[in-house]
Amino acid sequence: MQQVCERSLELINTADLQQFSEVTLRELSEIFRRAPVAGLYENRLLMLALAQGGALHYENGERGLKDIDIWAFFSEGPSKPFPPRARWTVDLGPSKFGRHPDDLGFTGRRMDILGRSIPTQAGEQPEKSVRRWIEGWSGSAVALRQKPMFAIFPKAISGLRI
């Protein structure tokens, strides 16, 4: 029986980051297929990052995990930006984190996936491009820099604080 609780105090480990990445990549594949503007970015993914409360919980294990917020960053370029106001929700599925009581119909924690197309420089590491964007003054950048953020994809930088 899946545990139902407001916040899971189970710690997030590297295997969990990998699971978050895999679930997000599968959902993005569906998003690219269904949403024409998002589909323009199918081959432009720079990085996935765990953000907001989940990142705080990963960092210190004290906050508890209410939901899982994943940000997908894409290299800008197509004629239209990645849909900046879109938020996709997906079910993590059964896991040690249980399920939030308000997420009826889910078998596990809710994952929210948000994305942005950001400027990059030739040869630049993804984390550097994302850090530069976070230093900007968009509402999302300002909000994201209030809490830690950790890369979960590509695998080579998974767990890196951004």
- pLDDT tens sequence across 77-116: 989 999 998 999 999 999 999 999 999 999 999 999 999 9
Question: Torsion-angle region of residue 34: left (phi > 0), alpha (psi -120 to 50) or beta?
Answer: alpha
How is residue 14 written in tokens? 């590297």
* 98/106 Cα distance (integer angstroms): 10
Q: What per-residue confidence (pLDDT) applies to 1?
A: 55
22-50 tens-digit pLDDT: 999 999 999 999 999 999 999 999 999 99
Residue 111's beta-bridge partner residues?
A: 68, 90
Query: How many other CB atoms sit within 10 Å of the CB of residue 128?
Result: 12
What is the token pair recorded at 11? 């710690």
